[in-house]
Structure 1
Amino acid sequence: MGRVLLICALGLFTSLVKAEQKVDLGSWEVHYITLNSTFLTPEVAKQYGIVRSKYNGLINISVLDRQAKTAQSVILTGEAKNLLGVVKKLSFKQVTEGDAIYYLAPLAFSDLEQYRITIYLTDGTQQQTLKFQHKFYAE
């Protein structure tokens, strides 16, 4: 039930926020999306321990094997740097539901704040780096 709630909740956001992005890194297909935590229903936020606030963002990452298209268990670390150079460490929580694996990291922000986000992925045999930018808006 939880997986359905999260997938439905995240699916609704693609039309509301910057669409999910995908990049191939090594043998992985990495999907990522950033959104405001207020887009989550109170029930979904509570289930995943996410604080809903107009000043809290959420980064969602999923990693698939490029060939088999199966979810991969990896270790994620990262940081978000705003345009003033202020760095915030990202702490990812792994969510496993059935065959799906998601990595969620909250990120507090100010209205119109833009971040350069760098995420390091490893499974012990390969290391990859995902970089992207996102501008957050208080809702």
Structure 2
Amino acid sequence: MKTLSPAARAFAALFAIALTGSADADQVVLAGEYIIHFSTLNSDFLGAAIAMHAGIARAPDRGLLELSVRKSNQEVGGNALPATVSVSVATADGHYQAVEIHRVDTADGTRYLGGFPIADGELLEFHVHVDLPNGSMQYFRHRQRFHMESDTFNRETEAAIAAG
């Protein structure tokens, strides 16, 4: 995992704001004294500068996940805590792929980001392992179907046919 420089942290904070209104799927997992927030979306929703500084590929055929851990008794908006995170994603035909996780430290705490390939209409299953600050481990699965923007998908299809 890599840690961002102070200059890039400002962009990471903007990234967190960008995620607020555009998450396709948001899951909250209660894990004892902790709450795990897990979101997935199409990475095309991110601004180019934010994606670059967060180390995430921004493209219509790329998905993005965000994960954070907070104390369950913490006020809304409290700092996200460090944890150890690993994620793999499975396609409907059973192919598994590890997701490279990037640790992003901001003024609001620690978030974990990862990018993965998507196809229009594809159903993915995420297998998420989180080693929590108290030493316990939480595992959960999350399923999400992804859709590309129709204009982008049509342009890519037309380009593939023309190149064909």
Task: State the TM-score, normalized to the length of structure 2.
Answer: 0.76
Q: Higher helix proportion, which one?
A: 2
Secondary structure of the structure 2 residue equivalent to 1:80: strand
CA distance in structure 2 between the aligned counterparts of 1:55 and 1:91, rounded to whole angstroms = 16
Give 2:48's aligned residue: 42
Give the gaps of 5 or more residues in structure 2. Answer: 1-9, 150-164
SS at 1:57's partner residue? strand
Return the index of the structure with the highest Cα Rg: 2
Amino acid at match of 2:138: Q
Number of the residue aligned with 1:93: 102
| 2:19 match | 10
Paired AA for residue 103 in structure 2 = Q
Report how many residues are paired: 136
- In the TM superposition, residue 27 of structure 1 has moved relative to its aligned partner by 2.1
Kindly indicate whether residue 117 of structure 2 is the aligned counterpart of residue 108 of structure 1. Answer: yes
* Counterpart-to-counterpart distance in 2, 1:26 and 1:126: 9
Distance 2:97 2:69 in 1: 23
The amino acid of 1:104's aligned partner reads: L
Unaligned runs of 5+ in 1: none
Q: Residues 94-139 of structure 1: CA distance to partner in whole angstroms, max 9, x if unpaired?
A: 1010132110011112211111111101147111112110111122
Q: 1:126 aligns with which of 132, 136, 147?
A: 136
In the alignment, is the contact (CA less than 8 A) between 1:96 and 1:102 conserved in 2?
Answer: yes
1:90 CA drift (Å): 1.5
Deviation at 1:3, TM superposition (A): 4.2
Higher strand share: 1
How large is the RMSD of aligned CA atoms in angstroms?
Answer: 1.6
Cα deviation code 1:55-92 (max 9, x no counterpart): 10001001111123542211111211111001111121
Q: TM-score, normalised by structure 1?
A: 0.89
One-letter amino acid of the counterpart of residue 129, structure 1: Y
